Structure 1
Amino acid sequence: MNGCGLIFAILLAVSTAMASDLDSLLDRLREDYSSNVPPEESLKIVEDLHSDGTWSGPKYHEKGHTPIEHLKKTRTLAESYAYACAGPTANSECLKIKEAAIRSLLFWFSREEDFVNDNWWMNEVGVPRELAPIALLLWDELPDSLRTKIIRCFPELPSRNGVNRTWISELVVIRGILERRDSLIYDGLKNIESTMLVTSREGHQKDHSFFMHGNLLYNGGYGKMALSIGAKWASFCRGTVYAFNQETLDAMSALALHGNRWMMWKGMVDPMVLGREISRKDDNKNAGGYVYIIRNLESVDSSRAEDYSLWKKEIKGENFLSGCHYFERGELMVCRSDDYYISLKMSSRKTVGSESINRENRKGFWLGAGVLSVYRHPDDFKDIYPLWDWSMLPGITCYDKSEQKEKRVTNESRFVGGLSEGNIGVATMIVDRSGIFAKKTWVFINGTVVALGADISSRIDSPIRTTLDQRLLSTDFSLESVPAVGDSLESLMVLHNGIGYRSLDGQTFKVKVENREGNWSEIGTTKFVEHGKIFSLWIDHGILPQKAKYAYLMEVGAKTGHLTSGHKECILVLQNDPVGQIIYDAANHIVCGTMFRAASFKFNQQAFFFDVPCVFIFREDGGFLKDLLKKDLVFEK
């Protein structure tokens, strides 16, 4: 064989291999999109289809609105046809399903100019994402005229950032598959891979938190979607010329195992990492949706098989992750064990505390102001959100305001930070927003949270309070004493749902239990009424406080009498003022806290000087402090 013949043979072999790999990709994609929708279900949809190709439900004449429900019904027809009507099994019922799907598509494209949405996402992503399974499952049955119109809906170039780029890149790949254009497939896959890698922009951060919409923590929403798409295509492409590289697989694994996995517990996804999706009933708050992601990751990452196996067990209610983990970029602290899950969501000027878009999360004004969520059971806060007083989120210091009119809100201060080691965590923030100023520190030690606040000042002529908790009432509820004070009670100690609350500075807590009713439509777009008894616990700082403070602890697993049995002496507040917030845990031999500026403090006869603001942890041995672990908190102006 001469040189030209050899080159031709090589090119032919490569071309044949690529065609074979493309067919494998198409088969895997069709299998993924296929759903076991029984023909009888589709036939009901067929019966409801009007002669002009419309259904009664979708809103076809609403300006600026896309009747996406129309395409969802068409997708069901396509899934049913692919499941029950492939090959020689096709019959008259199958013919009806196919004809109905084609008729609905013909109507759609005859009116598509009327269905342009006011939201870019629906036009560029939402509609093509619904068309994709329809096209892939019915492609061989569609007339050329429809194929041409469908192809036109898919982009040829990736664009935008973060998970929006992931979505659009996926659509580029699908167009490449439909047109059998390898250049599009490669370009789309390359860009999907790029969105899995660590970035300083929107997307996967170096601490494995995930940002969208201007540095807003979103692991459970957009981060989950990015992982879902990335893991899916990594699995589809395995063993082909399109296979993902190892760097991408490692990045996806890190985001999944060291990011999202930490932010869920026993089947519950922490609502504080859902962004505005916290206002959607049940949406993404259940970890079951991660099983699909894990299955795809397992298929391409056998080296971490044990971690994925344990994660699946956690989704079913077990726990194999314990300790405290501080996400520096995400400004989130998580402490967890088999007995509890605790998270603290903070935000500085560097991040976004909360967003309200598309009428969702309309009361999330104080999210990111130091929300402390303590779980003993995965369903402790299930469906509480329409019942919440959103100006009394657990952990925050604020006044009676919750409506979020701005698209995004955040803190004016850059001072937010944390440190974690084993079962110990320290987190701190300066709250400086909307007329409130406060210096706050939280210390986490083996299921106990010590919360300190100082320099609390306000310019708002309204009562200022620090909320310890606001949760669904449990039958387990007791107080140290129960003197009536208006419509609330006061106490220095409270025990509720196995969580003990104790004042460390003599200030009494206000306690209130009330029946509430709320509709999800008050905070989002879902319409559903919830009812429940709500337990609220707070400290009142009065109107226009200046340099007020608080100190309290919360203990998970506390029992009646435990908080009065001398346990209080184990936690000593060494300092709680504008300069520093420091505690000593005698039982665990720990001294830790925050210095807000260069300053010194003494412990016994030892003096320590910190030349910059920091959070720190000391070990105490025989009355002496050693083994300093410190994180400097110096921020660019």
Structure 2
Amino acid sequence: MKIKWRILAALLAVLTIHVPAAGKGRDTIPTVYDSVMTNIRQIQWAGVKDTAALRLTVAGLLNTIQTDGSWTDINYADRAQTNWTPVAHLDRLRSMALAYTRAGGYYYGNAQLQQRIAAGLAYWYSAHPTSTNWYMQQIASPQRVGVILILMRTGLLPLPDTTVQQLLGRMATEGGRPDQSGSQGTGANKLDIATHWIYRGCLAGDAAVLSFGVAQAYYPLFMTTGEGIQYDMSYLQHGMQLYIGGYGSVLLNGEVSVALFTVGTSYALAGSRLALLSSFMRNTFLPVIRGQYFHFDVLGRGVSRNNALLQSGMAGTAASMKLLDPAYAPVYDSAISRLTGVQPAEFGVQAGHSHFWKSDYALHVRPAYSFDVRTVSARTLRNENGNGENLKGYFLADGATNIATTGNEYYNIFPVWDWNRIPGVTAPLLNTIPVPAQWGTAGTSTFTGGVSDSLYGVTTYAYTDNNYSINTTAKKSWFFFNDEIVCLGAGITATAAGEVNTTVNQCLLDGPVTVSAGGATTVLNKGSRSYPGNLRWALHHGIGYLFPQGGAVHLANEQQAGTWKAINNTSAADTVRMDVFKLWLNHGGQPVNNSYAYMILPGKQSAADMEAYDTTNIRILANTDSVQVVRHQGLGIWQLVFFRAATYTGAGVTIRANAGCALILKNIGTPQVTVHLADPSQLKSSIALRLQLPGITGEKHLVMNLPTTPYAGATVRGVVNAQTPDYTEPAPENIQRIYAVADAYVNDGANAAVNYGTASTLIIKKDNTGYNREVYTKFPLPAMDTSRIARVTFQLQVKNANISVTNTNWQVNAVADNSWTELGINWNNKPASTVLPGLFPGSPVGTAVEFDITARVKDVISGSQPLLSLHTVATARGDGKTDAGFYSRETADSALQPQLKIYLKPLSSLAGKTFMENTDKKRTGGTVITVTPNPATDVVYISGGATGPAVLTDGRGQVLKRIQLTAGARTTLDVSGLPPGIYYFKSLSSTVAQKLLIVR
């Protein structure tokens, strides 16, 4: 429930005024149940803003309620998923209960009213209305019943005990548990269910139920990698889906309500949980509201609901938080002033920039404006369609931007929106927009993220959508400063049939539109027009739009029409008409490597302001599909995006990155440069930069270690100065790759006897019986001296992953028995295994999963074993959607196949030693030659193989030495006199050549 701001004074009374429960004497000390119910009643009564209206409402209800407690206009047999009509019965009874129990009201203590309420509750129990939507049985109905019973507990006449016990029993049996599995037991849903456990615990005087309800209600107040408040302080629900608004609102309001229920009791919210709730509201929730309105990007499917952006009612929640969290009273006072419209949208707003790496969302706030970007990666979910809502929001997570000064720029625009042209998005113009997936689907980008120093930032999105009707890619970035946001796109390529557009903005038309084009400044009449490369700037509603590199720009300021029903099946079909401002770039049909550049300039009120803007402040130094670079000369800030390992050289600066990253550099030209860096792939453990900067001598080598889960993707800070190490060219890395000779997954339950050896995907999952899948791989090992090995990793490439894959870890086990075969292994006959150290977090599509198995490989090679078998498993079930698939050896691209990577030590570290190794990677012929170096002498010992001659050759095949082998005996090979280099040793009866490395 939303708590109105006017009730703050009434809530203060909760701390000191307690109304005794019915039948208890005035001198009785209230129990904790009494105290909690008193608080709940105070909140309910304080929410009655118009007592005259309540009296009229109740009078009408008394005239229409039937003697059996029903209303004829309610269809109690309705089972609708949405707009379930029977719930109105409980809402009416709540109004009646408020009138009956609110002291001083017209109907206070009215016996007839009490009888009708009792009849209505009895009818609800006997009629037992149900919906196909679980929410109605587990949240909506029991919460309403609980409130009504708590109100009536203080009535002058008690309700029939039989009715009360029946309703409490149904709350218990049908209301669900807040700790159930799946989405119902997480985040806001958990809290909602726990709330009616609190009601029931108080009504029944059951300490166990009350304690459990309170504990579960407060349980979501922790940082999680699942649904709920994230480590970056964003909020995700329905899988990894951004929901700061919507479910985030439900969580916040619900937690505040429970905190108010329990204030003054032993269950009061305090400590770290109160601190987290405070931080979430102050630092995340309030900043995504501009004035009285949400940014549309944070609402999920709720964007398709009428009036969803208007959040003036949150003033009550802010007032309640002021009571609970008085240390931040000035913050809440400013928010209340904005939310109630007493002060303008900029009142009390502090500048800041936040990149929420867990939710692929960025928010840039200045007193004069707010700007956000909503993207999606393979780690997160697109905006969902659910219950017939958000039917056209397919592109809402593809770089959508909300540009707000007053906050109402998009208020209720959505029925008339051109959903092909969502602000910020690059997408083809489609005749039919795909309906978003039910309950969300994972994105496909593996490079999405941003860097922030808390005041400035960069967001980047390697957009790719292989949907057959879209098939579009683009490298998009947003660069945030004080008075400008620079928006760049490169590599725009599509095979879609329709033209591809990048939309700059589409908002409500509010005031004149002024443009500068072709050397003239014009105030436009309503209509639509095109500018083939000659539009310098446009100005509307205090926001300027600058096109520094031209482009085919289109502008419309005219009426658009649509219906709410077109985007939300539960809404009205009436035609809505609104005047809309729309600005976009046209990249044409099927573009190849196209690009764009535009700048957002908030705070520009006139053409004179636009002409006075100093365009030399911003320099776009690079805009390619490898590198995008923007320099703000006035602030002395460079911002860069490397989409891959690449080099940027220009303006006296050279920066090389060994992997994709986003960067902010400050104070270039001085002896100390500050570097902020983030990894949008969230896969790297470190990123190395080579920097040649004015003011610092030489080429510096800055290695920045990156945070791991749950902070992977967060920004790290470093400095470059004279003490930073100079860059030196490393010795070439010697890696030997070995590919699997057998792989398969196994499945338990009904498929326990089925073999999956020919599958192109190796599936892994931990779940209930019948749904578990595990992976087996087998590799040939070289015969080599293990002292040459620096490290060995086992690598799998993630081919597909379900929405909760990050809730599990993957583990590799050692298998001693190599007798299993690719076409014979199944769950029933799988060999046993033992756990090897190290876990890899469940990860999205495109991840290269690596396990360090150095010790195991050395043991196997030292034991002269020719094969290595590995068993890979998931460690946690999560919510049952933690399954993933890896590429198998049947994949044509060997880079994606299961493989071992043997990192060999550089020769410079092996002076004075001689080594042999198998260069074939596969042993053949059934005999193995083992070479053992003697570091004290210039000899190596040869053993194994068949009896017969063998030769030592150089790289050209010239025979340098001959030797006679004896099967089962050791033979000495003298290598004295041979210069350092690579030689080959081979038994003439074998097909296996051994590579001999001599290091002096």
TM-score, structure 2 normalization:
0.59
Residue of structure 1 aligned with 2:33, choices 22, 26, 30: 22
Q: 2-side partners of 1:536 and 1:286: how far apart? A: 22
Residue of structure 2 aligned with 1:601, choices 625, 645, 648: 648
Cα contact 2:55–2:107 (8 A) shared by 1? no
Q: 1-side partners of 2:505 and 2:477: how far apart? A: 16
Shift of 1:303: 2.6
Q: 2-side partners of 1:449 and 1:320: how far apart? A: 19
Note the alpha carbon deviations across 1:199-231, whole angstroms, 9 max, x for none: 111111111111110111111211111111212
Query: Does residue 158 of the first structure (1) align with residue 190 of the second (2)?
Result: no
Structure richer in helix, relative to its length: 1
Query: In the alignment, which residue of structure 2 is the partner of 1:306?
Result: 330
Q: Structure 1, unaligned stretches of length 5 or more?
A: 1-15
Closer/same/farther in 2, CA of residues 635 and 338 from structure 1, 3 Å limit: closer
Query: Does residue 79 of the first structure (1) align with residue 98 of the second (2)?
Result: yes
Shift of 1:465: 0.7
Q: 2-side partners of 1:20 and 1:142: how far apart? A: 21
Deviates more, 1:361-370 or 1:293-302: 293-302
Q: 1-side partners of 2:29 and 2:172: how far apart? A: 22
Cα contact 2:383–2:436 (8 A) shared by 1? no
- Read off the aligned partner of 1:398 and give its amino acid letter: A
Higher relative contact order (CA 8 A, sep 6+): 1
Shift of 1:635: 3.1
Residue of structure 2 aligned with 1:67, choices 70, 83, 86: 86
Query: In the alignment, which residue of structure 1 is the partner of 2:504?
Result: 468
Residue of structure 2 aligned with 1:123, choices 132, 137, 143: 137
Shift of 1:18: 9.8
Query: Does residue 427 of the first structure (1) align with residue 463 of the second (2)?
Result: no
Q: 1-side partners of 2:237 and 2:29: how far apart? A: 36
Residue of structure 2 aligned with 1:380, choices 402, 406, 409: 409
Q: 2-side partners of 1:100 and 1:17: how far apart? A: 30
Query: In the alignment, which residue of structure 2 is the partner of 1:7?
Result: none
Shift of 1:68: 0.8
- Read off the aligned partner of 1:149 and give its amino acid letter: Q
Cα contact 1:39–1:84 (8 A) shared by 2? no
Match of 1:569, SS state, is helix
Query: In the alignment, which residue of structure 1 is the partner of 2:548?
Result: 504
Closer/same/farther in 2, CA of residues 555 and 158 from structure 1, 3 Å limit: same
Shift of 1:198: 1.1
Shift of 1:529: 4.5
Shift of 1:620: 4.4
Shift of 1:145: 1.8
Shift of 1:561: 4.5
Query: Does residue 144 of the first structure (1) align with residue 161 of the second (2)?
Result: yes
Note the alpha carbon deviations across 1:60-93, whole angstroms, 9 max, x for none: 233445511111111111111111579x9856xx
Match of 1:58, SS state, is coil
Residue of structure 1 aligned with 2:378, choices 334, 337, 349: 349
Shift of 1:422: 4.9
Q: Please, what is the CA RMSD of the aligned residues?
A: 2.5
Closer/same/farther in 2, CA of residues 598 and 624 from structure 1, 3 Å limit: farther
Query: In the alignment, which residue of structure 2 is the partner of 1:534?
Result: 580
Shift of 1:246: 0.7
Deviates more, 1:229-238 or 1:426-435: 229-238
The structure having more radius of gyration, on CA atoms, is 2
Shift of 1:158: 2.5
* Number of aligned positions between the proteins: 615
Q: Structure 2, unaligned stretches of length 5 or more?
A: 1-26, 180-184, 684-846, 848-1000
Q: What are the residue-to-residue correspondences of 1:457-606 with 2, within 5 Å?
A: 457-481=493-517, 488-490=529-531, 491-524=535-568, 525-527=570-572, 529-558=575-604, 559-564=606-611, 567-606=614-653
- Read off the aligned partner of 1:503 and give its amino acid letter: F
Closer/same/farther in 2, CA of residues 563 and 602 from structure 1, 3 Å limit: farther
Residue of structure 2 aligned with 1:365, choices 387, 394, 412: 394
Closer/same/farther in 2, CA of residues 218 and 305 from structure 1, 3 Å limit: same
Q: 1-side partners of 2:434 and 2:659: how far apart? A: 37
- Read off the aligned partner of 1:78 and give its amino acid letter: A
- Read off the aligned partner of 1:133 and give its amino acid letter: V
Match of 1:151, SS state, is helix
Cα contact 2:218–2:255 (8 A) shared by 1? yes
Cα contact 2:296–2:402 (8 A) shared by 1? no
Deviates more, 1:613-622 or 1:368-377: 613-622
Match of 2:473, SS state, is strand
Shift of 1:622: 4.9
Note the alpha carbon deviations across 1:486-534, whole angstroms, 9 max, x for none: 9532134222222221222221311122212222222122326432111
Residue of structure 1 aligned with 2:312, choices 260, 266, 288: 288
- Read off the aligned partner of 2:578 and give its amino acid letter: G
Query: In the alignment, which residue of structure 2 is the partner of 1:217?
Result: 242
Shift of 1:300: 2.8
Shift of 1:171: 1.3
- Read off the aligned partner of 2:285 and give its amino acid letter: N
Note the alpha carbon deviations across 1:171-207, whole angstroms, 9 max, x for none: 1111111100011111111111111111111111111
- Read off the aligned partner of 2:313 and give its amino acid letter: G
Shift of 1:21: 2.3
Deviates more, 1:380-389 or 1:524-533: 524-533
Match of 1:431, SS state, is strand
Match of 2:371, SS state, is strand
Query: In the alignment, which residue of structure 2 is the partner of 1:404?
Result: 435
Query: In the alignment, which residue of structure 2 is the partner of 1:437?
Result: 473
Note the alpha carbon deviations across 1:35-71, whole angstroms, 9 max, x for none: 5444343111110213343224323233445511111
Shift of 1:403: 4.3
Cα contact 2:33–2:203 (8 A) shared by 1? no
Residue of structure 1 aligned with 2:220, choices 195, 203, 208: 195
Closer/same/farther in 2, CA of residues 439 and 624 from structure 1, 3 Å limit: farther
Note the alpha carbon deviations across 1:401-433, whole angstroms, 9 max, x for none: 434252124420121111223542211011112
Match of 2:400, SS state, is strand
Closer/same/farther in 2, CA of residues 146 and 417 from structure 1, 3 Å limit: same
Match of 2:486, SS state, is strand
Q: 2-side partners of 1:410 and 1:500: how far apart? A: 35
Deviates more, 1:519-528 or 1:340-349: 519-528
Deviates more, 1:519-528 or 1:475-484: 475-484
Query: In the alignment, which residue of structure 2 is the partner of 1:111?
Result: 127
Deviates more, 1:610-619 or 1:597-606: 597-606
Query: Does residue 415 of the first structure (1) align with residue 447 of the second (2)?
Result: yes
- Read off the aligned partner of 2:650 and give its amino acid letter: F
Closer/same/farther in 2, CA of residues 85 and 136 from structure 1, 3 Å limit: farther
Shift of 1:625: 8.6
Match of 2:172, SS state, is coil
Q: Among all aligned residue pairs of Structure 1 and Structure 2, give the percentage whose two residues are the same amino acid.
A: 24
Note the alpha carbon deviations across 1:511-568, whole angstroms, 9 max, x for none: 1222122222221223264321112111111111111111111111233144455733
- Read off the aligned partner of 2:380 and give its amino acid letter: T
Closer/same/farther in 2, CA of residues 289 and 90 from structure 1, 3 Å limit: closer
Cα contact 2:446–2:681 (8 A) shared by 1? no
Note the alpha carbon deviations across 1:596-628, whole angstroms, 9 max, x for none: 111221232331111221111122455999222
